[in-house]
Amino acid sequence: MNPTQINRTLSAAEAACRVSGARLTAKRKNVLAVLLRSQKPLSAYDIVDQYSQDYGEPIPAMSVYRMLDFLANENLAHKLNSENKFLACAHINCSHHHGTPQFLICCSCNKVSEIAIKSDLITALRDTVKEAGFQLQSSQLELDCLCADCAQRSPTCADT
């Protein structure tokens, strides 16, 4: 994202927080900006390091975890459970509702793309899980993939 897009996205995040009654503090906004500038998902400790570089002040990892929880609860960021890393929501600037997120994760370069799962697929998944005697706790999906760029260089992730 370029600086103009980041500023536009941060403004949209502030507006969304005002609507929900949440408070996007300066530090929360800065953590979101770190995620928006990143080309890949970041761990909390990656964010601590980048925050210090970007803003010239240290920030405790526990504070970053709390801020990430806030951002996730406000649908401004997502946690990739398989990697214990975080990324900014790709739909902050959108004015319409998005479905359940699905993350396509390149097993070669770690690029992540967020897409929405169709609601009928989630319903079918939920029904199948229920038939198996379980309750679905999260319908977020994380799929190991190969992005188009990496597929041109090497057609598999077998060597990663």
Domain ranges of the chain: 1-95, 99-160
Asked: is 99-160 a CATH 3.30.1490.190 domain? The reply is yes
Instruction: Please name the residue ranges forming H helices in the chain.
Output: 3-20, 26-37, 44-55, 61-73, 119-131, 148-153
**CB neighbours of residue 41 within 10 Å:** 23
CA distance linking residue 154 with residue 90, whole number of Å: 27
The whole-number pLDDT of residue 96 equals: 59
What pTM, to 2 d.p., does this model score? 0.86
The domain over range 1-95 is classified in CATH as 1.10.10.10: yes
State the average pLDDT over residues 25-31.
Answer: 98
90-102 residue pLDDT tens: 989 886 566 788 9
- CA-nearest of 65, 78, 80, 81 to 27 is 65
